[in-house]
Structure 1
Amino acid sequence: MARVSWWPVPPSDVVVVGGGAAGLSLAHRLVATGAATVTVVEPPEGPLRPPQRTWCYWDHGAGDFDEAVAASWPLLRVHGPDNSAVTLDPAPLSYRMVRSATFERMMHARLARTPGGQLLRATADTVRNVPGGAEVRCTTPDGRTLTLRARHVYDSRPLRALPPARTRLLQHFRGWFVRTDTHRFDTAVAELMDFRVPQPRHGLAFGYVLPLAADRALIEYTEFSRTPLTTAAYEAMLGHYTREILGLGAFTVETAEQGVIPMTDARFPRRVGPAVFRIGTAGGATRPATGYTFAAVQRQSQAIAAALRDGRGTVPPPHRRRALAMDAVLLRALDTGRIDGPAFFTDLFRRTPTQRLLRFLDGATSIREEWSIGLRTPVGAMLRTAVELPFLPRRPHPMPRTGESS
């Protein structure tokens, strides 16, 4: 159990606001490496706490979060809209799932065992720069006001509004954790994209199947489009996918998760003052073209810890400029309808060597590798989009709802 504080709170070098993947990963990295002492400000139980959710990433060998991994898959599969399938072997990588509740318990326990780390259950009301550092004003569960001061504050709370962007799509989804009456799932294969679902008039849609056992799986319906659906509409799509396409037969929905992830070429400021920084999705860690965040959060946490050890109060960018530029082109091409989304992604997985493609999705490819991948895409449509992007204005967009869980 984490060392939880209410009053008084010993001072620390760093205050991390928010106890999700970004905040807890950074706090763990800082205290584990001795880069700084840390207080994590995490909302108490109630409406301000985010719903439970899952995070997925690629890794190989023993990882830092193995005890929190709910399942992993050595093979990936993509289904095209014509029912063709391509199965990919990403060895030595495997695709791994972490559930947020398990991850948080693990990180709380690690903070409790490590000198210099503590958890404060309170609502962060304001964060501001002050001479010599920054302060966070909080309200404790019993209604008291508490002010924390530190040399640096790293804020992972969601933004109230997105920065101006040329393109903003949403990756929005609802998933069912199902249990079937008979064995229906191949536990070695994660269905990464199944385009056999009905496609929306704008954007694209796909099914997503992560087997947890032969009779259990997380099954999601996901869209890349401008506007989220109602919960009833997601339920209808999931019902069609599970019964008509997957043919699961009798099953029970045990729990559900729902969310919205912005897919945007906005520029996310990582520094909001001399001593206040944004991390996680608020700091640009979400990969614009895929929505993946967890692996980038780990890279960002390691870079911040190294910077603090070296006496630099900075937050290095979680993604390279080249990767963000390519994502901006892809988002615009999808949004304008210049490329057929299901065909684009199916061909990308079918025609690109698996390890190279996964490195590309993780932003770790060379220019030569990226050039070879680019030649496997609709070159004319992508070039036209790349030429027009610099002339498009950036406009503000409202922040999408983050979704719900049940």
Structure 2
Amino acid sequence: MPDSFDYIIIGGGLAGLQLALRFAEDPYFNNKQFAIIDPSDKTENDKTWCFWEKGKGNWESIIYKSWESGRFLTSSKYLKFQLEPYKYKMIRSEDFYSLAKDRLQSLNNFHFIKDSISEIYETTMIAHGAKQYQATHFFDSRINSSYLKDKKSSLLYQHFKGWIIETDSNIFDPDQFTMMDYRLKHNNSTSFTYMLPLSRTKALIEFTFFTPYLTEESVYDEMLMSYIKEYLGVDQFHISETEIGVIPMTDFPFHKDNTPSITKIGTAGSWVKGSTGYSFKHTEKKTAKIVANIKAGKEPSYELLNSRFRWYDAIFLDVLTRNNEMGEEIFSKFYSKNTTKNILKYLDEETSLSEDLKIMFSLFDVEFIKSFFRKGM
């Protein structure tokens, strides 16, 4: 195992492995040496990723389930929507890790190293055990924790706990997922239930918060139990898997830590969609752009982010940070006053300015005007 590489990727999660696969698929990098360094072996199913896309994509072999229709619910609304020409797709992290490692470990120029990195100095990186690694460029997924104290940025946490439950009777409609169900909320917060039916007797059910604070694990359990019993009418069920997570939703400029020799990736590079927490397809686009930039002789981080959409996200986050009780109202307008196609196109950051304005007007509220000026572009 060499200690010197052309490129080192710090972190073997979603961003690091998608980037490594991009490099591996391009013959331009066949003579380059890569290291992927992570303290974990990534063998467990620690996450579920969902995304929407048209037709078949790059991950069809590991799609666990997909849906062509969904629903959005509040105490006064029931909206059913068709996703055509999109599909909503689910991937289990263990399947993604396995696919990525199988592909990369078959190549002589990709090396997996189990280690934890403490510092990077120009072209030299030092692990916690004082071992040194050298590279021409580093792709770093470690998060700059200063966002927690930054008073200029808005910060919400998307935090959740989910159960995969199994029942004895046919309870679920496996052809329709629930994007948001606001009928059950915790106190006066933006909180909702998200449900992915996997069969008629099996579903992933998550209780999710978009809040400026975190909560005790017992709160998730209480809300999940209430939803299953009161809204699904299920008394007898078995919990086969549990998932818990926290995603920072912020307009903090993580990407400003990029340097000529270090490119921040994933959450650490501002790749997570600030207003939703979705990252899978955004990561796919960012990794493709990095590879194209390097081949064009540009810095890997060149034009990776869209400042217009970051501004939109900053406005949204500012509204919910200051008025967290407005979540149900905002998302209700979003889903009821716009077509599903335009919603998904907007969240993919592929809409035109005129299309953006239509969506903005559909959300109109005096609080958005205040945040518009607070978060001047």
TM over 0.5: yes
SS at match of 2:5: coil
SS at match of 1:161: helix
Q: Which residue of 1 aligns with 2:111?
A: 118
Question: Taking structure 1 as reference, are residues 359 and 18 closer, same or farther at Cα in structure 2, changes over 3 Å only?
Answer: same
Q: Distance in 2 between matches of 1:380 and 1:31?
A: 49
Q: Which residue of 2 aligns with 1:81?
A: 75
Asked whether the equivalents of residues 73 and 188 of structure 1 are also in contact (C-alpha less than 8 Å), the reply is: yes
Deviation at 1:347, TM superposition (A): 2.1
Deviation at 1:337, TM superposition (A): 2.0
Q: Distance in 2 between matches of 1:338 and 1:262?
A: 15
Deviation at 1:51, TM superposition (A): 7.3
Identify, as 1 or 2, the structure richer in helix.
Answer: 2
Asked whether the equivalents of residues 186 and 214 of structure 1 are also in contact (C-alpha less than 8 Å), the reply is: yes
For structure 2, the 5+ residue unaligned runs are: none
SS at match of 1:107: helix
Q: Deviation per CA, 1:242-298, whole angstroms, max 9, x where unpaired? A: 111122331111111111111112111254433111100000001111011111111
Asked whether the equivalents of residues 19 and 287 of structure 2 are also in contact (C-alpha less than 8 Å), the reply is: yes
Deviation at 1:45, TM superposition (A): 4.7
Deviation at 1:125, TM superposition (A): 3.0
AA paired with 2:255? P
Q: Distance in 2 between matches of 1:368 and 1:115?
A: 49
Deviation at 1:339, TM superposition (A): 7.3
Asked whether the equivalents of residues 3 and 132 of structure 2 are also in contact (C-alpha less than 8 Å), the reply is: no
Q: Which residue of 1 aligns with 2:121?
A: 128
Q: Which residue of 2 aligns with 1:314?
A: 300
Deviation at 1:340, TM superposition (A): 2.4
Residues 54-93 of structure 1 aligned to structure 2 (within 5 Å): 54-82=48-76, 84-93=77-86
Q: Which residue of 1 aligns with 2:38?
A: 42
- Say which of 167, 177, 183 aligns to 1:180: 167
Q: Distance in 2 between matches of 1:71 and 1:317?
A: 33
Asked whether the equivalents of residues 207 and 221 of structure 1 are also in contact (C-alpha less than 8 Å), the reply is: yes
- Say which of 241, 255, 272 aligns to 2:227: 241
SS at match of 2:230: helix
Deviation at 1:317, TM superposition (A): 4.9
Residues 330-369 of structure 1 aligned to structure 2 (within 5 Å): 330-337=316-323, 340-369=326-355
AA paired with 2:164? F
SS at match of 1:363: coil
SS at match of 1:200: coil
Q: Which residue of 2 aligns with 1:232?
A: 218
Asked whether the equivalents of residues 73 and 189 of structure 1 are also in contact (C-alpha less than 8 Å), the reply is: yes
SS at match of 1:196: coil
Q: Which residue of 2 aligns with 1:257?
A: 243
Deviation at 1:62, TM superposition (A): 1.7
Question: Taking structure 1 as reference, are residues 283 and 97 closer, same or farther at Cα in structure 2, changes over 3 Å only?
Answer: same
Asked whether the equivalents of residues 135 and 153 of structure 1 are also in contact (C-alpha less than 8 Å), the reply is: no
Alignment size in residue pairs:
372
The normalised TM-score by structure 2 is 0.92
Deviation at 1:314, TM superposition (A): 2.4
Q: Which residue of 1 aligns with 2:146?
A: 161
Deviation at 1:320, TM superposition (A): 1.4
Q: Distance in 1 between matches of 2:198 and 2:16?
A: 27
Deviation at 1:99, TM superposition (A): 1.3
Q: Deviation per CA, 1:313-366, whole angstroms, max 9, x where unpaired? A: 321455411111111111111222287221221221111011111011111111
The Cα RMSD (Å) is: 2.2
Q: Which residue of 2 aligns with 1:171?
A: 158
Q: Which residue of 2 aligns with 1:149?
A: 134
Q: Which residue of 1 aligns with 2:357?
A: 371
For structure 1, the 5+ residue unaligned runs are: 1-7, 392-406
SS at match of 1:227: coil
- Say which of 8, 12, 23 aligns to 2:5: 12
Asked whether the equivalents of residues 22 and 288 of structure 2 are also in contact (C-alpha less than 8 Å), the reply is: yes
Asked whether the equivalents of residues 163 and 204 of structure 2 are also in contact (C-alpha less than 8 Å), the reply is: yes
Asked whether the equivalents of residues 270 and 279 of structure 1 are also in contact (C-alpha less than 8 Å), the reply is: no
Q: Distance in 2 between matches of 1:272 and 1:342?
A: 36
AA paired with 2:265? I
Asked whether the equivalents of residues 142 and 268 of structure 2 are also in contact (C-alpha less than 8 Å), the reply is: yes
Asked whether the equivalents of residues 76 and 189 of structure 1 are also in contact (C-alpha less than 8 Å), the reply is: yes
Question: Taking structure 1 as reference, are residues 115 and 310 closer, same or farther at Cα in structure 2, changes over 3 Å only?
Answer: farther
- Say which of 175, 180, 194 aligns to 2:181: 194
Q: Which residue of 2 aligns with 1:402?
A: none
> Which shows bigger deviation, 242-251 or 317-326?
317-326
Q: Distance in 1 between matches of 2:203 and 2:342?
A: 28
Question: Taking structure 1 as reference, are residues 77 and 318 closer, same or farther at Cα in structure 2, changes over 3 Å only?
Answer: farther
SS at match of 1:286: coil
SS at match of 1:277: strand
Question: Taking structure 1 as reference, are residues 156 and 317 closer, same or farther at Cα in structure 2, changes over 3 Å only?
Answer: farther
Asked whether the equivalents of residues 338 and 381 of structure 1 are also in contact (C-alpha less than 8 Å), the reply is: no
Q: Distance in 2 between matches of 1:137 and 1:267?
A: 25
- Say which of 296, 299, 315 aligns to 1:329: 315
